[in-house]
């Protein structure tokens, strides 16, 4: 009887030891699982926050795109920059267009780029140099037309109407564009040039009520315009012969 009790007690203690060892082993096995689960929850929480911030940024970008003004006239309407930067550039160009109702501004436009660090870099047109250029008038009027024009001048003088005449000299401004635009803008007494070398020899000629600008033996036809226009190269041999005399 005593042997049976001893065996029972030994067996009970062995069972308890096995349970304790098994429980400790289970705890050690489950601890990494718990740590992994906790890490996954933290990652999911971080992803949720990032998603919320991205949704907020996308919403702001959509609102800015809806309210962005139309591209300004001329060569600036071609998109050449990143989407976010383009929205900002169009906004600045639109505000500048409202203020740019004369040809005397020192900065005509600006281009905005956004770098990796979100710092905004503004690239503006640069004024290179300024010179004065005389207007040469080539006679293309017949004797009859001269008499008629003289009569018109006398009539205008008698009517106290001042006859509009061309300036003898034009202010020539050489500008450099960040977009490498080549063209001009012209008003009475002033021409803004883009893409021409400021050191090149220029000649401004008026013939048959048309204006021509000669640079390095190349003749361009120019006209009064409030908008930027690309250079129009003259190919007519008759005009070239008359202008280059």
Q: pLDDT, tens digit, for every residue of 48-71?
A: 778 777 777 877 776 665 555 444
One domain for residues 116 and 153:
no
Confidence band, pLDDT 50/70/90 cuts, at residue 104: very low
In three-state secondary structure terms, 237 is: helix
Last residue of a domain, one of 34, 63, 92: 63
Alpha-carbon span 220 to 244, nearest angstrom: 12
pLDDT tens sequence across 176-219: 988 889 999 999 999 999 999 999 899 999 999 999 999 988 99
In the chain, pLDDT over 70 holds for what percent of residues? 64
Confidence band, pLDDT 50/70/90 cuts, at residue 105: very low
What per-residue confidence (pLDDT) applies to 120? 66
Which pair of structure tokens corresponds to residue 65? Answer: 């795109």
One domain for residues 98 and 113:
yes
Alpha-carbon span 73 to 113, nearest angstrom: 20
One domain for residues 5 and 49:
yes
One domain for residues 131 and 107:
no
Is residue 208 within 8 Å of 184, Cβ to Cβ?
no
One domain for residues 155 and 232:
yes
One domain for residues 2 and 53:
yes
One domain for residues 98 and 57:
no
Q: Which domain holds residue 214?
A: 126-243
Alpha-carbon span 68 to 84, nearest angstrom: 11
pLDDT tens sequence across 120-145: 666 788 999 999 999 999 875 444 45
One domain for residues 119 and 132:
no
What per-residue confidence (pLDDT) applies to 202? 94
List Cα–Cα distances, 54 to 49, 58, 115, 122, in angstroms: 9, 6, 18, 26
One domain for residues 173 and 216:
yes
One domain for residues 92 and 2:
no
What per-residue confidence (pLDDT) applies to 71? 43
- How many domains in the chain? 3
One domain for residues 145 and 158:
yes
Q: Which residues contact 123 (CB under 8 A, 6 or more apart)?
A: 110, 111, 112, 113, 178
> In terms of pLDDT, which residue wins out, 151 or 104?
151
Instruction: Determine how many CB atoms are found less than 10 A away from the CB of residue 191.
Output: 21
One domain for residues 74 and 130:
no
Last residue of a domain, one of 13, 30, 63: 63
Q: Which residues contact 85 (CB under 8 A, 6 or more apart)?
A: 112, 113, 114
């Amino acid at each position: 009887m005593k042997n049976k009790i001893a065996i029972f007690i030994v067996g009970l203690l062995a069972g308890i030891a096995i349970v304790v060892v098994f429980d400790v082993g289970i705890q050690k096995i489950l601890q990494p699982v718990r740590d992994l689960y906790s890490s996954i929850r933290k990652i999911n929480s971080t992803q949720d926050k990032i998603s919320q911030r991205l949704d907020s940024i996308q919403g702001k970008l959509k609102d800015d795109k809806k309210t962005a003004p139309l591209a300004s006239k001329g060569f600036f309407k071609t998109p050449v920059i990143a989407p976010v930067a383009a929205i900002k550039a169009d906004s600045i160009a639109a505000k500048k267009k409202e203020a740019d109702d004369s040809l005397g501004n020192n900065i005509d436009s600006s281009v905005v780029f956004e770098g990796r660090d979100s710092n905004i870099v503004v690239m503006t047109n640069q004024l290179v140099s300024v010179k004065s250029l005389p207007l040469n008038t080539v006679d293309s009027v017949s004797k009859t037309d001269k008499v008629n024009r003289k009569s018109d001048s006398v009539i205008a003088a008698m009517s106290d109407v001042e006859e509009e005449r061309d300036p003898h000299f034009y202010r020539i401004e050489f500008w450099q564009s960040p977009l490498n635009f080549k063209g001009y803008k012209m008003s009475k007494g002033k021409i803004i040039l883009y893409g021409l070398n400021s050191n090149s020899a220029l000649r401004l000629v008026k013939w048959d009520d048309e204006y021509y600008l000669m640079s390095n033996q190349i003749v361009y036809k120019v006209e009064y315009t409030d908008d930027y226009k690309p250079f129009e190269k003259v190919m007519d041999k008759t005009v070239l012969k008359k202008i280059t005399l």
